[in-house]
Amino acid sequence: MVDALRILTSTPAISLRSRANNLYLTAAPGTPLIANKTSAGTGEQFDIVTT
């Protein structure tokens, strides 16, 4: 389970932090999503997509 940590006002993106280990969710091409970062950089920002 993750918490939405912050919503950036300049872009519709969020960073997610895990409740289990207090680390940020990261996504790299070709790898599974995993919460293993201590700070939120560009690889830990996700676009908000509406359908």
Residue pLDDT, tens place only, 4-51: 444 445 667 888 999 999 999 998 889 888 999 999 888 888 888 777
- Domain count within the chain: 1
Residue 13 to residues 20, 24, 42, 48, 51, Cα–Cα distance (Å):
22, 14, 10, 5, 15
Query: What pLDDT is attached to residue 4?
Result: 47
Query: What pLDDT is attached to residue 35?
Result: 93
Tell whether pTM > 0.75.
no
Residue 28 to residues 9, 10, 36, 43, 44, Cα–Cα distance (Å):
24, 23, 12, 7, 9
Gap between the terminal Cα atoms of the chain: 23
The three-state secondary structure class of 42 is helix
Which tokens belong to 26?
């990261």
Query: What pLDDT is attached to residue 8?
Result: 46
Domain residues for 22?
A: 2-47
